[in-house]
């Protein structure tokens, strides 16, 4: 294929770019994804309604006057209306207008425009403006929350606050405290690059893809894979603009430092004094986090390894073997247990190259293809890493082997046992704090590949995993989708990530993914399992499953919302939390509400 694609922006050219040293990674992904997309999938069709899409209950003259006022406050060029054709772009050059991985028509979950604050004071100005005009605002850091809604607001016509473009400084990097103080626009890529340039030997805990915001991911309670893999647990101190415009600092940050300096213990102690409020600013719409402290792990020696397991049906036993190792911290990080089909998908293979029928690829076909790979014939693959001095790691590996080799047919691979292109080498980078892009490869599974995740939490006991796994497997088959589960294992639970990959140019493919997740959320809740995070279109349903004692938790959430955001302007509906003026007016979306993603979306527009 001809390489006529424009180069991916570097971190020097754009806050959302890639470090120059990692450009080859970006070029490889871009080429692969481009080669599997059709023009329709790449760029969505022009829109037919009057643009920009207005927020609810705001007429055009009022909106225009409000925008004019905001432009006067921020500067003309920092308020941009969403009036152009929507372009899905790709991971590294993504839109801040809508969800690039749309489940509904792309023009459904759209903004009216975007503004670009340069400071906390600018954010205050925007918030006060929104209160004046009752215009919903939706902050994003980078907008790379892919699989969960990307940059899109839940309410059509909201104004996006793109924090990342101009607020992207590493405010502090402390090699002794091993911490940093960050603005929303700092990505895993850029923090990694900044640390490298500083000469400090610190790791950034990175997720599978390195383009996200460190602050944004932590606030959404995302996961990474070093011993610091629980991102929210490793944040320390916030600065937040409340929905009414006041600024607060949490933890030790509430105590002023000497002569107006930041408190010297802000990034050392998470709690401060009094109620620990940080939690209400994660997965919520109670404030705009403009600064966050984060702990960084000192670099250490490490060895990543891959275990393969022979039998499909052995996963409950695998999980039961993992549990004591995880609780005892013999597994020092967040390892992943992946179905063997992912050994195929991670190579960037297309489904069509191994199977030409509709419906899920049959297990025997998957098995045959997997057998040709370096992992050999197997059903499950476990990616782990041991840390510390050589003697430590040798001892840990011995314990790990002894445990897993109880299962007949288990094999261990070290990086030296597999070709240099094998995924184990990418895993070794991720598990030692180096951001990569390799995980994008499985989007090539179908043409115009997009993904949306069903992400329940499961206790690490064999019988629980079996129940959830069987549920997901059965529903995926029913909806004709390929099932590739990844289990991210923490001490006592696993995040069961079921990514559904669909063709975003195909209404029937979207419908299958959408309906499958709706069904799974309900199935899981009936059995007592719930999601840790979800796409915008499922947030009401997921929030609705956390309904013990007559929905006591949501009642509390709503009381907080109404107290903190009395005019209901900040990300209405985010995480299922609606401010009073939106409640019970038909905004909530759920299972069985008759809404068809291919024919009617979140707004009023019909799609024919
Ligand atoms: C993954 C993806 C997620 C998530 C956690 C882990 C990893 C996939 C899209 O969401 O929440 C391999």
Q: Over the chain, what is the mean pLDDT?
A: 94
Task: Categorize the per-residue pLDDT at 594 as very low, low, confident or very high, splitting at 50, 70 and 90.
Answer: low
What pLDDT sits at residue 208?
96
Q: Say how far residue 188 (Cα) sits from the centre of its chain.
A: 13
Task: Categorize the per-residue pLDDT at 105 as very low, low, confident or very high, splitting at 50, 70 and 90.
Answer: confident
What mean pLDDT do residues 557-577 have? 98
What pLDDT sits at residue 198?
98
What pLDDT sits at residue 4?
73
Considering only CA atoms, which of 450, 502, 449, 505 is closest in space to residue 476? Answer: 502
Residue 337 has pLDDT above 50, yes or no: yes
End-to-end CA distance of the chain: 35
Ligand 1 atom nearest 342 alpha carbon? 12
| Distance (Å, whole) CA 440 – CA 348 | 8
Q: Is the CB of 439 under 6 A from ligand 1?
A: yes
What pLDDT sits at residue 38?
83
What pLDDT sits at residue 604?
42
What pLDDT sits at residue 599?
47
Q: What is the DSSP letter of 251?
A: G
Q: Is 533 annotated in the active site? A: yes
Q: Is the CB of 285 under 6 A from ligand 1?
A: no
Report the residue among 146, 207, 456 best suited for mutation to probe ligand 1: largest number of ligand atoms under 8 A from its CB: 207
pTM: predicted TM-score of the whole model, two decimal places: 0.96
Q: How far is the CA of 583 from the centre of ligand 1 (A)?
A: 31
Neighbours of 415 (CB within 10 A): 15
What pLDDT sits at residue 77?
98
- For residue 534, report the phi and psi dihedrals to the nearest 5 degrees: -155, 165
Residue 568 has pLDDT above 60, yes or no: yes
Residue 358 has pLDDT above 70, yes or no: yes
Task: Categorize the per-residue pLDDT at 600 as very low, low, confident or very high, splitting at 50, 70 and 90.
Answer: very low
Neighbours of 238 (CB within 10 A): 25
Q: How far is the CA of 588 from the centre of ligand 1 (A)?
A: 25
What pLDDT sits at residue 607?
34
DSSP of 104-160: S-TTTSBEEEEE--SSHHHHHHHHHHHHHHT--EEEESS---TTTTTT--SSTTEEE
Task: Categorize the per-residue pLDDT at 41 as very low, low, confident or very high, splitting at 50, 70 and 90.
Answer: low
What mean pLDDT do residues 484-499 have? 94
What pLDDT sits at residue 391?
97
In angstroms, the Cα distances linking 286 to 206, 571, 578 are: 26, 9, 11
Q: By alpha-carbon position, which residue is closest to atom 9 of ligand 1?
A: 147
Q: By alpha-carbon position, which residue is closest to atom 4 of ligand 1?
A: 497
* Residue that wins the pLDDT comparison between 590 and 408: 408
Residue 447 has pLDDT above 90, yes or no: yes
Considering only CA atoms, which of 501, 509, 382, 504 is closest in space to residue 440? Answer: 501
Q: Given the residues 148, 315, 383, 423, select the one marked as catalytic.
A: 148
Among 44-58, 139-153, 434-448, where is mean pLDDT lowest? 44-58
Residue 9 has pLDDT above 80, yes or no: yes
- Taking each helix axis from N to C end, the angle separating 462-478 and 315-327, rounded to the nearest 10 degrees, works out to 130
Structural domains in the chain, CATH included, are 302-431+456-532 (3.40.462.10), 539-606 (1.10.45.10)
Instruction: Tell me the three state secondary structure of residue 161.
Output: strand
Q: Is 532 annotated in the active site? A: yes
What pLDDT sits at residue 44?
63
| Distance (Å, whole) CA 390 – CA 411 | 21
Q: Using an 8 Å Cβ cutoff, are 113 and 81 in contact? A: yes
pLDDT tens-digit profile of 182-210? Answer: 999 999 999 999 999 999 999 999 999 99
* Burial (CB count <10 Å: 0-12, 13-18, 19+), residue 450: buried
Q: How far is the CA of 205 from the centre of ligand 1 (A)?
A: 14
What pLDDT sits at residue 144?
98
What pLDDT sits at residue 104?
87
What mean pLDDT do residues 69-86 have? 97
Considering only CA atoms, which of 55, 154, 135 is closest in space to residue 540? Answer: 154
Q: How far is the CA of 566 from the centre of ligand 1 (A)?
A: 34
Q: By alpha-carbon position, which residue is closest to atom 1 of ligand 1?
A: 497
What pLDDT sits at residue 43?
64
Residue 313 has pLDDT above 70, yes or no: yes
What mean pLDDT do residues 238-254 have? 98
Q: Using an 8 Å Cβ cutoff, are 433 and 205 in contact? A: yes
Ligand 1 atom nearest 533 alpha carbon? 11
Q: Using an 8 Å Cβ cutoff, are 497 and 487 in contact? A: yes
What pLDDT sits at residue 376?
96
Task: For tokens 């793109």, name the residue.
Answer: 162
Q: By alpha-carbon position, which residue is closest to atom 2 of ligand 1?
A: 497
């Amino acid at each position: 294929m001809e390489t006529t694609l424009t180069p991916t922006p570097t971190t020097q050219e754009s806050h959302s770019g890639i470090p120059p040293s990692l450009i080859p990674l970006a070029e490889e992904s871009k080429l692969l994804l481009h080669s599997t997309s059709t023009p329709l999938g790449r760029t969505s069709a022009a829109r037919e309604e009057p643009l920009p899409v207005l927020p609810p209950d705001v007429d055009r003259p009022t909106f225009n006057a409000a925008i004019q006022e905001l432009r006067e406050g921020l500067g003309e060029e920092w308020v941009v209306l969403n009036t152009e054709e929507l372009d899905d772009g790709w991971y590294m050059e993504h839109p801040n207008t809508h969800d690039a991985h749309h489940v509904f028509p792309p023009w459904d979950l759209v903004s009216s425009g975007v503004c670009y604050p340069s400071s906390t004071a600018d954010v205050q100005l925007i918030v006060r403006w929104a209160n004046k005009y009752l215009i919903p605002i939706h902050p994003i850091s980078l907008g790379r929350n892919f699989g969960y809604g990307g940059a899109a607001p839940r309410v059509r016509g909201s104004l996006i606050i793109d924090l990342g473009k101009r607020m992207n400084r590493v405010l502090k990097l402390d090699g002794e405290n091993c911490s940093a103080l960050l603005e929303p626009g700092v990505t895993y890529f850029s923090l990694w690059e900044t640390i490298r340039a500083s000469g400090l030997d610190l790791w950034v805990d990175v997720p599978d893809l390195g383009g996200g915001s460190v602050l944004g991911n932590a606030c959404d309670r995302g996961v990474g894979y070093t011993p610091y893999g629980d991102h929210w647990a490793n944040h320390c101190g916030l600065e937040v603009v409340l929905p009414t415009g006041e600024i607060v600092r949490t933890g030790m940050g509430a105590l002023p430092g000497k002569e107006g300096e930041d408190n010297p213990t802000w990034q050392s102690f998470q709690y401060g004094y009094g109620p620990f409020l940080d939690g209400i600013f994660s997965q919520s719409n109670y404030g705009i986090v403009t600064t966050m402290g984060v702990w960084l792990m000192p670099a250490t020696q490490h060895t990543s390894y891959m275990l393969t397991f022979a039998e499909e049906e052995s996963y409950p036993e695998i999980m039961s073997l993992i549990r004591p190792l995880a609780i005892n911290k013999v597994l020092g990080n967040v390892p992943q247990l992946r179905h063997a089909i992912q050994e195929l998908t991670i190579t960037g293979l297309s489904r069509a190259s191994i199977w030409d029928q509709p419906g899920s690829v049959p297990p025997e076909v998957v098995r045959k293809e997997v057998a040709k790979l370096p992992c050999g014939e197997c059903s499950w693959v476990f990616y782990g890493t041991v840390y510390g001095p050589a003697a430590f790691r040798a001892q840990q590996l011995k314990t790990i082997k002894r445990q897993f080799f109880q299962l007949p047919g288990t094999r261990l691979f070290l990086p030296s046992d597999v070709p240099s292109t094998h995924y184990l080498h990418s895993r070794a980078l991720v598990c030692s704090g180096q951001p990569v892009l390799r995980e994008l490869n499985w989007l090539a599974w179908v043409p115009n590949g997009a993904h949306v995740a069903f992400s329940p939490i499961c206790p690490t006991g064999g019988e629980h995993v079996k129940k959830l796994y069987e549920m997901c497997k059965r529903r995926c088959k029913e909806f004709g989708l390929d099932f590739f589960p990844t289990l991210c294992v923490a001490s006592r639970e696993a995040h069961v990530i079921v990514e559904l990959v669909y063709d975003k140019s195909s209404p029937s493919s979207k419908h299958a993914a959408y309906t499958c997740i709706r069904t799974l959320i309900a199935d899981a809740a009936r059995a007592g399992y719930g999601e840790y995070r979800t796409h915008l279109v499922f947030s009401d349903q997921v929030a609705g499953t956390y309904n013990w004692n007559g929905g006591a938790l949501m009642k509390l959430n709503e009381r907080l919302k109404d107290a903190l955001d009395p005019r209901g302007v900040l990300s209405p509906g985010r995480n299922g939390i609606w401010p009073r003026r939106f409640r019970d007016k038909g905004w909530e979306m759920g299972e069985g509400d008759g809404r068809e993603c291919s024919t009617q979306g979140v707004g009023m527009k019909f799609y024919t």
